[in-house]
Amino acid sequence: MLPFDFSHHYPSTRLPVFARNVVATSHPLAAQAGLRMLLAGGNAVDAAIAAAAALTVTEPVSNGLGSDAFCILWDGRQLHGLNASGHAPEAWTPAYFHRKYGDGAQTPPKRGIDAVTVPGAVAGWMALSRRFGKLPFGDLLQPAIELAERGYAVPVVVQQKWAAATPELQSLPGFAQAFLPWGRAPRVGEVFRFPAAARGLRALAETQGEAFYRGPIAQALARFAAAQGGALSEADLAAFEPEWVTPIGQDYRGYTLHEIPPNGQGIAALIALGILGHFDLASLGPDSVAAQHLQIEAMKLAFADVYRYVADPRAMDLTPEQMLDPAYLKARAACIDPRRAQDVGAGNPAKGGTVYLTTADASGMMVSFIQSNYMGFGAGVVEPEFGISLQNRGHGFNLATEPGRNTANLVAPRKRPFHTIIPAFLTRDGQPVMSYGVMGANMQPQGHVQTLVRMLDHGQHPQAACDAPRWRFDAGLHINVESAMDPATVQGLVDLGHQTRTIDDPYQDFGAGQFIWRLGDPADQGYVAASDPRRDGMAAGF
């Protein structure tokens, strides 16, 4: 018996999908690319890589071949984590940026070549395929190659974000050549072709990915960076390897939520759940003011610690275990006032634009995968020969060391920056339950918490939890609320002191999720899957 009420409470055109083999992504053509691999005899890892490659073409507003990536997967026996976020070029130091951008620069730039760390996504695909895949690596890229060569009709949400980003990015190197073939953003339904990306994908297929880090693509990236006055070199690319890591977890209501450990922000969701475990949320309505207030305050406390302490783990003064210490989280829970909103600071634990996809197959393998160029087209620069649209993860570093800043996240050679993209995985008694994620910068841990509370505390099924209106903590007392939220709930939050702003653009502020919940024996009962209506995506299976 599933713990869900399958009546539908929120406006949506989508219903849960039930199947033994499932792919859920933010673009239908990417979901179909994944299904092709499953139908060809591949497994969930093969499907995830094919879907991820297709998304670099079909959703370029959020990711590209120059992305970073993370993954949590259940191989049928245990969980594995993969950190495929890139490191800084060898030449990057605070002095490098202060010399170029002035002594007052607080972070590397948001756009341009000096925002680009080594892209890690392709290395992540390679590592997953080598260790867990069944099909040849080159076969996994064929759907993406076809989409890039033949083109596809641009869908509604992607088009809106494409047009919105164009004024800022159209003059950056390579952007117009790659993404404005009409001299403007495409219109809904216009066919977009990306021949340069097709060349890049073919080079990857022919070399099992090696061309990106030790071949013609690496050489082209280094030439492109040098032409823009950047520091990224062939040596930086050749030195990169993704890292297999052990996921960290937090128990909640008899389940365990797993996240990738720092340098990512997944620990924020674990901290918030550890705090919320001290409150009886099940006794409150899922859309009640009280339930929303407690979750907002827990996320504030979590972010205060994450922004203060989380960085490349080699530079952190604290361990995840210290930040998740039960006694510490109990003390943080005591900081919450149920009657009013508060502006909180970091505690002292030492005392004690992204795409997400998920796949699952009938053998029981489940994959939670996320990749991103970060702030909508990333750095905004595109290597023209192979169509490498580059992320801007370097913007996540700090350049300043004044008191109160996260000095562990200070830029340094071959160091990973603080990262926002986070896959999630839920288990119970050591067995897999759900592979899921919610896209959108700092919305991601907030989305992990809000949707999980709806499922575990209030019994809402994955699609309903996905469809429900969300809030997003910004800073201080400020929160954004989705326009679909009940006005009475919004007013109740205002009465508690939350400074609310209603947002009509769900993509921009409230993320989008994909969910696969295991029903039982995958070969018999299969899975139930959901895809967020805030994007163009779908869940599909057989």
Residue 424 forms beta bridges with which residues? 259, 436
User: Which whole-number Å values give the CA distances from 69 to 2, 84, 113, 355, in the listed order?
Assistant: 32, 5, 19, 10
CA dist., res. 215 & res. 218, Å (int): 5
CA 261 vs. chain centroid, Å, equals 14
Structure tokens at 448: 């992990």
User: Which whole-number Å values give the CA distances from 310 to 136, 250, 325, 417, 439, in the listed order?
Assistant: 37, 17, 15, 10, 19
Residues 537, 531: contact at Cβ < 8 Å?
yes
Angle at 392 between CA 129 and CA 246, to 5 degrees: 40
Cα Rg of the chain, angstroms = 22
Q: Can you spell out the DSSP letters for 109-141?
A: -SSSGGG-----HHHHHHHHHHHH--S-HHHHT
Residue type, 377: F
186-198 burial, b at 16+ Cβ within 10 Å, e below that, comes to beeeeebebebbb
User: Which whole-number Å values give the CA distances from 139 to 53, 201, 206, in the listed order?
Assistant: 11, 11, 10
Residues 62, 353: contact at Cβ < 8 Å?
yes
CA 337 vs. chain centroid, Å, equals 31
Strand order of the β-sheet with 22-25 is: 243-245, 79-84, 68-74, 366-372, 354-360, 22-25, 538-541
Nearest to 165 by CA among 457, 382, 388: 382
Q: Which residues are catalytic?
A: 354
User: Which whole-number Å values give the CA distances from 68 to 165, 283, 287, in the listed order?
Assistant: 20, 40, 35
